Amino acid sequence: MNLKITLVTLFVAFNFSFLLAQEGVVRGTITDENGIYVPGASVMIEELKKGTVTNFDGEFTLLEIPEGTYELSVQYLGYQTILKEVKVEASKTVSMKLLLNTTETTLGTVQITGRGLSAQARALNLQKNKTNITNIVSTEQIGKFPDANIGDVAKRIPGITMQVDQGEARNIIVRGLAPQLNSVTLNGSRIPSAEGDNRNIQMDLIPSDMIQTIEVSKAVTPDMDADALGGAVNLITRSAPEGFRLSATAGSGINFITNKRILNGAFLIGDRTKDGKFGFMLSASINDNDFGSDNVEADWTDKFEYNAGDPDNLEKVGVNPFVEKFEIRKYLVQRVRRSFSANFDYRFNDNNSIYFKSMYNWRDDRENRFALTSEILDSEDIEEGDFEVTNGNLTRFPAEITRETKGGTPGGRIKNRRLEDQRMQNYTLGGNHIFGNLKLDWMGSYAKASEERPNERYVVYASEYQVNNHVSNSRKPLHTALGNPDLSGFELDELTEEYQYTEEEDINVFVNAELPSDFFGNGDGIIKFGVRGRFKNKYRDNNFFEYEPIASSGLNIESLANINTRNYNGNDFLAGKQYIPGAFASPKFLGNLDLHNSNLFKSEAIQDEYLSENFEVKENVYAAYAMTNQKLTDKLNILAGVRVEATKIESTGNEVIYNEEGDFDGSMEVTDKSDYVNILPSIHFKYDLNEKTVLRFAWTNTLSRPNYLDLVPYYAINNEDEEIVVGNTELNPTTSMNFDFMAEYYFNSVGLLSGGVFYKDINDFVYTYVVEDVVSGYKVFQPLNGDKASIYGAEISFQQQLNFLPGFAKNFSLYANYTYLHSTANGIRNEDGDERGELDLPGSSPNMFNASLSYADKKLSVRLSANFSDAYLDELGGNAFEDRYYDEQFFLDFNVNYAINKNLTLYGSLNNITNQPLRYYQGVSSRTMQMEYYERRLTLGIKYDLY
């Protein structure tokens, strides 16, 4: 006991010595003439070799400054150095407010075309002064108002590509690693996922005008969460300004696929009290988009059997690959995106401040889907003469044809459509404090994401007839009816209503402490350490009911010919006029069915449709780290440390039981636990070759935890699709050892040329193993850990105003970046249990390219932007034939802004000029699996800014 008391006493005495240190502190805030914070400025007292960099709020702190009078210098890329005298007294904090005035400090080579410091200057200064390898982009830097959501902005950053949903960028892929392998935070607080079975963050949920800066760390430091295999994306909202700020935006437009309107509006207002202590920033945004898509889907097979008289011994026929299931889908979508943010801070004194930041995102996604599906009959139902094979091509066969309408109940917010109500909210309370030479910051946050889909209805009418299988152009697969079947042949097959709810809650707490240190006698350095806890709970609660009309009810809905229908021809179908969706039950008819009236319908809960998908996962992560950032020489800086993360998981799922006939026979709840510890060292070197050139090297270790549903102990049989899906509670986290080298050259005229290489050595990556069950013949899907994977690649980036050109041409600017990737994955087994050899790691696009050419003068700015990502393996099948690939994408966008005066700007944009479809292919690029078209979008509007 005495030993414990002695150790505690020594510890307190050691730390208290820092609190009583006889040095002073210099703190300050740097803004431009509009009161906008200046991040990334280098602040230095040359005499002491003491320096730091302003944060996103333009703040800097210099600790352990001896008494005396010094000259403080502020350096900012593209601007003249500011020199200010500062007098330091022992045990006191000197507070300063510095102004970086563009009219006085701009270097002659910089062309100022807007108010205050350019967004590009802020981003590049931050990036230049970061120790780790980072891309920092202001949303305004990309080009004003070309992108509605933050995902479309992010796709223009080097090494990033996006997966789209209904034409909007949703899931982020960083350096070829799948969305669930990257972390996304809001102001440093983890964003939860509203997706039901994975960790993907819905980037299209967050409007671009609610975010000030995107920070992508491709080499994480020990004080950051380690679960960022590809990278860590931090979205930073606007803080309270130093002076009054008001901004408002209003616009409209048209979606050419539906010829329906787009509405958007946003505003922000912020100010600070006269004494400078209390500040606030309030903002809101709304985007109402009425659009849709035209979709074709195809499942291919190279196996064909028929009943030659013995259903237990089917006859096999060798055929070329053909489409066994074909769909034409017409989507009508209304997407209403709302976002609200309220940020406050209070400065008690020069050494203590607290802040509160919040954001609430709410998106209603209303959808009707009309799907025409033709699928080859089961082999035992096909007899000789029912099909035709010509030159190895199966050109005709009998199929089940269905016409399905997706909708919802009438009135309210649902409006006869499927309503997907997605919400994400985040509330953060934090503080920054100085106790002598000790800097302390802390944060606690609560975040929640949810997705609710109430009263989602489907009605299916089915028929059987012969179809022609058109295989001459595999990029444009097609089934057509043999003859001219009418609607009277389509009988009611299925009528369902379901409810889906998914929720994820995150509680985050952390404390960081920082002390000045000087291990190598170069006058500058820190020791930083801290702890963090993250407590996550995710669950999904679905149900599913089938309804059947009661014979005595008098309802006349058994035939598609007897009900109200909606018809679509192929004249304006974007995939081609040969695709004719045809007639479907109208959404109004489906919505008006009184399914819950027991005199009209009898209902049955189909538990095997949803029980296996219901789960709950509790995941607690406890982390601690220690690191140091030291100057080895005047030019060479080292950041080294270690992070330890302990993970505890408890998961609950349902094992669904079936009888010998394959019918549902009950269920059993199953719970399992797992835990593991990861020790993750890292080291970063930053070498300032000269004032313009920076070299960086990093060795880091990161991890990725498996998707939630993969960890759930469940077992489910889908008799309709002849599939068995099994969870795996024994999955290990994926880990990666990463090496990065980057060279950067910064132009005086606020530009950048950079290039680098990287390598990732990955262990225990997760993939879905597909095998055939020997008893049922069903396909079994189970997540497993592969052996090893690796990724190596290179990045090059260039952005520069072309001010060396003569005349008006000097107002042109070029922004371009290119990323190359090569990946290999080992330990993946095919459906026979044999290793498949080296494969690409799913999600790794080998080539990514962004470019934009812009023109800007004092009034007009115009930008043409291009985004390209190469095809890549998206999902592994049981063999190479079944592998699914995400096809290459090329997007072209145009936007223009015209400043009427210093406060009022007109803007316009034309998105998706190339009418780029979302396309998947199966096995080979010519074999289309899905193609979905969205058409172009035009928006026009006006923005008002008052500083």
Asked if the model's pLDDT at residue 107 lies above 70, the reply is no
Strand partners, 855: 812, 862
Are 406 and 458 in contact by the 8 Å Cβ rule? The answer is yes
SS (H, E, C) 473-525: CCCCCEEEECCCCCHHHCEEEEEEEEEEEEEEEEEEEEEEEEEECCCCCCCCE
- Is residue 104 helix, strand or coil? helix
Asked if the model's pLDDT at residue 114 lies above 50, the reply is no
Asked if the model's pLDDT at residue 8 lies above 50, the reply is no
Asked if the model's pLDDT at residue 19 lies above 50, the reply is no
Say how far apart CA 476 and CA 886 lie, in whole Å. 16
Joined tokens for residue 897: 């802004």
The dihedral region occupied by 517, where left means phi > 0, alpha psi between -120 and 50, and beta the remainder, is beta
Please enumerate in sequence order all residues whose Cβ is within 8 A of that of 118, keeping only pairs 6 or more positions apart, or say none.
Answer: 112, 141, 750
Burial of residue 505 (CB within 10 Å: 0-12, 13-18, 19+) is middle
- H/E stretch holding 16: helix 2-19
142 or 444, greater pLDDT? 444
Strand partners, 664: 658
Residue type, 152: D
Token pair 């889906």 is at which residue?
A: 500
> Residue 20: which pLDDT band, with cuts at 50, 70 and 90?
very low
Torsion sign across C-alpha atoms 302, 303, 304, 308:
positive
Torsion sign across C-alpha atoms 276, 277, 281, 282:
negative
Say how far apart CA 700 and CA 230 lie, in whole Å. 12
Asked if the model's pLDDT at residue 532 lies above 50, the reply is yes
SS (H, E, C) 213-225: EEEEECCCCCCCC
Are 409 and 386 in contact by the 8 Å Cβ rule? The answer is no
> Residue 5: which pLDDT band, with cuts at 50, 70 and 90?
very low
Are 883 and 877 in contact by the 8 Å Cβ rule? The answer is yes
CB atoms within 10 A of CB 597: 10
Token pair 């000269």 is at which residue?
A: 690
Say how far apart CA 437 and CA 16 lie, in whole Å. 10
> Residue 909: which pLDDT band, with cuts at 50, 70 and 90?
very high
Say how far apart CA 542 and CA 565 lie, in whole Å. 29
Are 722 and 775 in contact by the 8 Å Cβ rule? The answer is no
CB atoms within 10 A of CB 555: 16
> Residue 937: which pLDDT band, with cuts at 50, 70 and 90?
very high
Asked if the model's pLDDT at residue 101 lies above 80, the reply is no
Of 621, 680, 623, 678, nearest in space to 648 by CA: 621
Are 229 and 333 in contact by the 8 Å Cβ rule? The answer is no
Say how far apart CA 700 and CA 224 lie, in whole Å. 12
Mean of pLDDT values over 514-526: 84
The dihedral region occupied by 731, where left means phi > 0, alpha psi between -120 and 50, and beta the remainder, is beta
Asked if the model's pLDDT at residue 21 lies above 70, the reply is no
The per-residue pLDDT for 6 is: 38
Joined tokens for residue 162: 């996006």
The dihedral region occupied by 582, where left means phi > 0, alpha psi between -120 and 50, and beta the remainder, is left
Say how far apart CA 551 and CA 556 lie, in whole Å. 10
463 or 80, greater pLDDT? 463
Of 23, 427, 432, 12, nearest in space to 191 by CA: 427
Q: Does the pTM exceed 0.85?
A: yes
DSSP secondary structure code for residue 37 in this structure: B
Mean of pLDDT values over 455-480: 95
> Residue 885: which pLDDT band, with cuts at 50, 70 and 90?
very high
Joined tokens for residue 754: 């950079």
First CA to last CA across the chain, in angstroms?
Answer: 62
Say how far apart CA 929 and CA 523 lie, in whole Å. 62
Asked if the model's pLDDT at residue 7 lies above 70, the reply is no
715 or 449, greater pLDDT? 449
CB atoms within 10 A of CB 255: 22
Mean of pLDDT values over 412-423: 95
Residues in the chain: 947
Mean of pLDDT values over 376-380: 94
**Helices (DSSP H) in 705-749: which residue ranges?**
none
Asked if the model's pLDDT at residue 710 lies above 70, the reply is yes
> Residue 115: which pLDDT band, with cuts at 50, 70 and 90?
very low
Q: To the nearest 10°, the Cα dihedral for 153, 155, 160, 162? A: 120
- Over residues 741-796, the pLDDT tens digits come to 999 999 877 789 999 999 999 999 888 888 887 777 788 889 999 888 999 999 99
C-alpha angle with apex 215: 213 to 217, nearest 5 degrees? 180
- Over residues 39-79, the pLDDT tens digits come to 888 999 988 888 899 988 889 999 889 999 999 999 888 77
Say how far apart CA 358 and CA 171 lie, in whole Å. 23
Query: Percent of the chain at pLDDT above 70?
Result: 94
The per-residue pLDDT for 140 is: 62
Using DSSP bridges, classify how beta strands 779-785 and 723-726 pair: parallel, antiparallel or unpaired.
Answer: parallel
The per-residue pLDDT for 141 is: 60
Residue type, 507: I
Asked if the model's pLDDT at residue 198 lies above 80, the reply is no
Of 317, 468, 483, nearest in space to 395 by CA: 468
Joined tokens for residue 322: 């053909």
C-alpha angle with apex 467: 556 to 313, nearest 5 degrees? 105
Strand partners, 569: none
> Residue 110: which pLDDT band, with cuts at 50, 70 and 90?
very low
Lowest mean pLDDT among 5-14, 139-148, 212-221, 755-764: 5-14
> Residue 139: which pLDDT band, with cuts at 50, 70 and 90?
low
Query: Percent of the chain at pLDDT above 90?
Result: 60
Say how far apart CA 828 and CA 293 lie, in whole Å. 35
Lowest mean pLDDT among 780-794, 819-833, 842-856: 819-833
The mean pLDDT of the chain is: 89
- Is residue 377 helix, strand or coil? coil
Say how far apart CA 579 and CA 90 lie, in whole Å. 80
The per-residue pLDDT for 117 is: 53
**Cα 166 to chain centroid, rounded:** 15
